[in-house]
Amino acid sequence: MAALALLTSCIKDEEANQECDIVSAWVEGKEYENYFYDVTQMKHENIASTVTEIVFTVKSMISLPEKLPIQLAVTPGATVVPASGSEQHFKDGPVTYTVTSQDGSWQRQYTVVFREAVKPTYRYGFEEVETIEGMNNNLYHNFYIFDQAGNRQNVWATGNPGAILIKQNSMPEDQPTYSTEQGYVGRGVCMNTQDAGMLGRLFGKPIAAGNLFIGQFILDNVLLDALKATQFGLPIDRVPIRVTGYYKYRPGDTFTNKDMEPVPGRVDEASIYAVFYRNKDNDGNPIFLYGDNVLSSEYIVRKAEVASLPPTDEWTPFEMFFEGGDADPIVLASQGYNMTLVFSSSKDGASFEGAIGSTLYVDEVVVSFEEITQ
């Protein structure tokens, strides 16, 4: 005890914060509510550490006022330019905010952008891909789309940002999910289950399955609870009924459990599914589905799963139909439903069960929707 007291007396004064994050961003005031489909879309909370673009979805860019104030909460002590609450011309395009840490030595830049809701793309050809340079000289592919209005939309997410955490000097093709030139038409997606190495084992996460999904990968959660790193779904204004596409699949040789012990007789399987769900609870709080409830949540309205994906080295068509209830047209019109589409090279990869080397290729995915009744 005396030793503890002695040690405590050695503690130096706290130094100024070095971090410079935007923690939350919101539009404040009843007068602005009309521009949004719903009040939940006026606020972004707990913004993930890797986010640099904050998107507010509005009904119409044309009717948006010339200037709007955005409120920002940043790391304690940090400053932001332009200031939180200052009116900016979002109608003219993205506005860049620079956050400077309390100690003055670090900066991060964010863009805040107002956009009309994603007009869903019916066809995903996976032709739009960019190479991102992560930490430690690791490169990885990121898939995006152009919507019907011609706007770039970052609808696709992968676990790549998590996989590169423990790597150094790696190429896009070294990652669990990457773009391949050998698609069914043009480029396609390759997903493969990888050995996460000694460090992955140390963290109880021995394998990394390749995945691609509509939603957001929240790297912040990857160690705490990997199932919470995959946030599934984005708002959609119509009701999906069917998904088709092409795949190739080859399971890896040895199926292992989460302790990396072989499970004799078990063969790895790929998974392809889609979920359409309510994105608000009855009190109006936002709902997201994660790895632990994406197929079981009470907010699911309808879902589609491909029953089986037999191994094949030839491009083979797959098809799945949404089953479940109907959507409420009023809720639908207010962006009250989300849809996700999920592909994984190991069905139980989220719980770190699968076979290293399992490889799933996917291309030319088409989603069919119900007719929109006005």
Partner 1 sequence: MKKIIIFFVFCTVFCATIKAQGGFSWENLQVKARLGYSIGGTAPIGFPATIRSVDAFRLTPSVMAGADVALPLNEKWGVSAGLRFENKAMEIEATTKAYRMEVTKGDQKIEGLFTGHIQQDVTEWMLTLPIMATYAVGRNVTLKAGPYASLLLSKDFSGIASDGYLRQGDPTGPRIIMGSKEGEWATYDFSDEMRPLQFGIAAGVDWQVHQHIGLSADLNWGLTGIFNRDFKTVEQTLYPIYGTIGIFYQF
Give me the residues that bind partner 1 (CB under 8 A), please.
3-4, 7-8, 10-15, 18-21, 49-50, 101, 106-108, 135-136, 161, 165-168, 197-204, 219-225
Q: How many CB atoms lie within 10 A of CB 313?
A: 10
* Residue among 59 and 258 whose Cβ is closer to partner 1: 258
**CB-count burial class (<10 Å; 0-12, 13-18, 19+) for 316:** middle
Closest CA to 189 of 350, 305, 352, 345: 345
* Residue among 98 and 312 whose Cβ is closer to partner 1: 98
Closest CA to 117 of 196, 56, 203, 193: 56
* Residue among 13 and 314 whose Cβ is closer to partner 1: 13
Cα–Cα–Cα angle for 331, 332, 337, rounded to 5 degrees: 90
Cα 177 from Cα 358, distance rounded (Å):
12
Contact 191/344 with Cβ under 8 angstroms? yes
* Residue among 115 and 228 whose Cβ is closer to partner 1: 228
Least distance CB 218 / partner 1 (angstroms): 10
* Residue among 140 and 273 whose Cβ is closer to partner 1: 140
Least distance CB 161 / partner 1 (angstroms): 7
Least distance CB 222 / partner 1 (angstroms): 7
Least distance CB 48 / partner 1 (angstroms): 8
Cα–Cα separations (whole angstroms), residue 244 to 209, 272, 371: 22, 10, 18
Least distance CB 253 / partner 1 (angstroms): 22
Least distance CB 205 / partner 1 (angstroms): 8
Least distance CB 272 / partner 1 (angstroms): 28
Contact 145/125 with Cβ under 8 angstroms? no
| Collapsed DSSP state (helix, strand, coil) of residue 28 | coil
| Collapsed DSSP state (helix, strand, coil) of residue 35 | helix
When computed from its CA atoms, the radius of gyration of the chain, rounded to whole angstroms, is 22
* Residue among 202 and 333 whose Cβ is closer to partner 1: 202
Cα 294 from Cα 303, distance rounded (Å):
10
